[in-house]
Each structure stands twice: as structure tokens, then as C-alpha cells.
Amino acid sequence: VTTLAVLASGSGSNLEAIAKAIENGQLLAKIAVVIYNEPEAYVKQRADKFGIPAILINHRDYKSRAAIDLAIVDILKQYHIDLVIMAGWMRIVTQVLIDAFPERILNIHPSLLPSFKGIHAIEQAFNYGVKITGCTVHILSLEVDSGKILKQAAVPILASDTLVDLQKRIQVQEHIIYPAAIAEYAQSLTK
Ligand code: GAR
């Protein structure tokens, strides 16, 4: 069984999707710990609901990005983590984290990479007028939203869509492809 850590900053709907896939037996893994950086993030409630320990690493308490990542690596080692799952972790990662878990950190991004990198991906695709966007699971690399792609889902943008409609449609797909990508990647590592 692959031991996962989930890093999140927000609502945690992807955490929930992954936890449910584990409960359903679709994903042979265990989430050992959730790390979150926003004290009020709803992801904490979701972790509690699934009985997963959640540890707050408030980035405001650290003096550099590297110091934050060192604290995170400490926790990841403590919990014997095999795979690190970024699920809406809205912080730039340093070499410290990547070197400690080379090729062992996955991320989900709400666009069809390499289009619309960065933190405003959905809004940018919407405003640009693209007719198809989507979501991407990729291996984390130092350069933001640029690592090797593992899975993507395409999502249409309809003329009647609001930004919120589009956000919801993308998240539906995220919740399908992320657990599936984790399962496949974990499997590939044990071969
Ligand atoms: C997800 O849509 C994810 O793709 C996005 O944050 C959301 C988190 O939702 N990530 C990024 O924008 C990364 N730049 P969640 O907290 O409900 O899982």
C-alpha cells in the first residue's frame, strides 16, 4: 500500500475525492497526513471527517520558502511518505522539497497544460475565449506547472458559462482523474 501525504491550501475537494477512492477500493493507498497552510482552510474539516491527521504549516511563521519546505520534509519523513499529493497547494515549492522526494510529488492544475500555467488558470482560459480547457495531473518540477504530464481531461467552455460553472465542471473531472492518476503512478513505481 502506497503511503500518501496530501498538501492543500483551500477547500480540499480533491482530498475528499482521493479519500473516497481509497474507501471504494479504487485506489490502493493510505493518506497518512494532510498538510495545510491556511488556518481557516476547509480542507482541515474534511481531513477530520476522514480521521486523517492534519498539520498546519502556516507559511507566515517561516522566514523563507526553503524553511517552509524543510518543515514539510520533516513531517513527510516522520510519516514515511511514499508519494506527495499536491491538491490545491497554492505555494511555490523549492529544491528542498523536490530533492527530498524526486519524482515523488504529483500536482493537479486546472487547465490543459502547457496552456494557462499559474494561479489564475481557469479565469485566464475563460477570458481568453478558448472553447476547450480541462485539468492536468503532472509530476512536480521546480519550474511551476511544467513537469511530465500523467493524465488530462478535456472540459468544454459553453457560451452560457459563468466562471463558477466552468470551475465546477473542471473540478468534476479533477475528482475523477486525480485518484486514477495516483493509482496508475503508484502502480508504476512498484514495478
Ligand atoms: C483545484 O481546482 C486545483 O486544480 C487548483 O486548486 C483547486 C483546489 O481545489 N490548483 C491550482 O490552481 C494550482 N495552481 P480543492 O481544494 O477543492 O481540492
**119 Cβ inside 6 Å of ligand 1:** yes
The question of whether 59 is a catalytic residue gets the answer no
Average pLDDT over the chain, rounded to whole? Answer: 97
Would you say 138 and 145 are in contact if contact means Cβ atoms under 8 Å apart? yes
d(Cα 179, Cα 14) in Å, to the nearest integer? Answer: 9
pLDDT for 10 beyond 80:
yes
Distance 30 CA to ligand 1 centre (A): 21
Evaluate: CB of 109 within 6 angstroms of ligand 1.
Answer: yes
Find out whether the beta carbon of 133 lies less than 6 Å from any atom of ligand 1. no
**Average pLDDT for 73-94:** 97
Which residue is associated with the grid cell 488558470?
121
Q: Provide the 3-class DSSP secondary structure of residue 54.
A: strand
Looking at residue 122, what is its pLDDT? 98
| % of the chain residues with pLDDT over 70 | 100
Residue 191 in this model has a pLDDT that exceeds 80: no
Give backbone dihedrals phi and psi of 83, rounded to 5 degrees, phi first.
-135, 135
From the annotation, which residues make up the binding site for (6R)-10-formyltetrahydrofolate? 65, 90-93, 107
Q: What is the ipTM of this complex?
A: 0.98
pLDDT above 80 (res 126): yes
Give per-residue pLDDT as tens, 156-177.
Answer: 999 999 999 999 999 999 999 9
Give the pairing of strands 105-109 and 132-139.
antiparallel
Chain center to CA of 86: 3
Average pLDDT over residues 43-52: 98
- For the whole model, what pTM was predicted? 0.97
Edge-to-edge strand list for the sheet holding 83-86 = 54-56, 29-36, 2-8, 83-86, 105-109, 132-139, 149-156
